[in-house]
Amino acid sequence: MMNSIAQMGEALADFIERHPKLWVITGAGVSTDSGIPDYRDADGQWKRPPPVQHGDFMASIAVRQRYWARALVGFKAMREAQVSGAHRALAALESMGHIELLVTQNVDRLHQRAGSRKVVDLHGRADIVACLSCGYQMMRHAMHSEMATMNPYFTTLDARHAPDGDADLETDFSTFKVLDCPRCRGILKPQVVYYGDVVPPARRLAAQAGLENANAVLAVGTSLMVYSGYRFCRDAHAMGLPVASLSLGVTRADTLLTHQWRAPITPVLEHALKVLRFSSTLVSTTG
């Protein structure tokens, strides 16, 4: 049984070397070292109440008041987040030619900031908001600035940060003023796929095309409990591709996995990268 970071890193490096065109899917566990909380525990269970549903956000001004008031407090974690060792290691693996495509369920854009280029933001991005009526767009920080001016009391509140820019804040939200679209007064929403919404077809097809060109799947920092990510592991299994997982706990795809390492993500990735770099250097000096 592998019981050390080094052993698991070496096994992961071997997997990567034997499957040089990896289709990688990442989740919240990749960004926890960046200070952004994740949703689930090692057993795949919710750590807190599930996030907002798309239908509720659209139908209820009270839900939008609660969402945006909490975001004024919680989005600081995403705004100030720095890339982690895991982000840098995955970017390095891409630069070495090991990654065919990286599909992330995260909305923090940290993979891009780390240098990854072959990225599909499956669930969108949290730093831009758009009007659902006319398509007007603005940067998230600009919207927060406007709402902070409109709601000075809420800028004085503090609470523990939650995933994806939320905060564990409970108070009376009924007086909170939500900024509507400055062009048409429509509903502004982050360019994020909420629960109950669907992944835009273009992103799903781009991810599928990458999978068809890959020769193995590596899931990193994700429980794969959300179907939009799990579906690709199911498809890969049906295609006969090896499916591996590096995470702290169980995944929805456990029965499909050919390799599984339950361990801290960053140190295992960094050790695997070290092994691969040494192997590459050895080949170049002896070749």
Residue numbers annotated as active site: 123
**122 near 210, Cβ under 8 Å?**
no
Asked whether residue 131 is marked as a ligand-binding residue, the answer is yes
The pair of three-digit structure tokens given for residue 242, joined into one six-digit string: 């090896």
What gap in Å lies between CA 242 and CA 39, rounded to an integer? 27
User: Who contacts 158 (Cβ-Cβ below 8 Å, separation ≥6)?
Assistant: 73
The pair of three-digit structure tokens given for residue 96, joined into one six-digit string: 């070495």
What gap in Å lies between CA 113 and CA 205, rounded to an integer? 24
User: Who contacts 29 (Cβ-Cβ below 8 Å, separation ≥6)?
Assistant: 38, 220, 221, 222, 247, 248, 265
**202 near 251, Cβ under 8 Å?**
no
> What is the DSSP code string of 95-118?
HTT-EEEEEE---S-HHHHHT--S
CB atoms within 10 A of CB 144: 20
What gap in Å lies between CA 80 and CA 157, rounded to an integer? 18
What gap in Å lies between CA 209 and CA 184, rounded to an integer? 37
E strand or H helix at 22, and its extent? strand 22-26
Nearest Cα neighbor of 77 from 124, 118, 117, 126 is: 126
Q: Is 161 helix (H, G, I), strand (E, B) or coil?
A: strand
Asked whether residue 181 is marked as a ligand-binding residue, the answer is yes
Nearest Cα neighbor of 26 from 223, 257, 203 is: 223
Asked whether residue 233 is marked as a ligand-binding residue, the answer is no
Binding-site annotation: residue ranges: 131, 134, 181, 184
Annotated binding site for Zn(2+): 131, 134, 181, 184
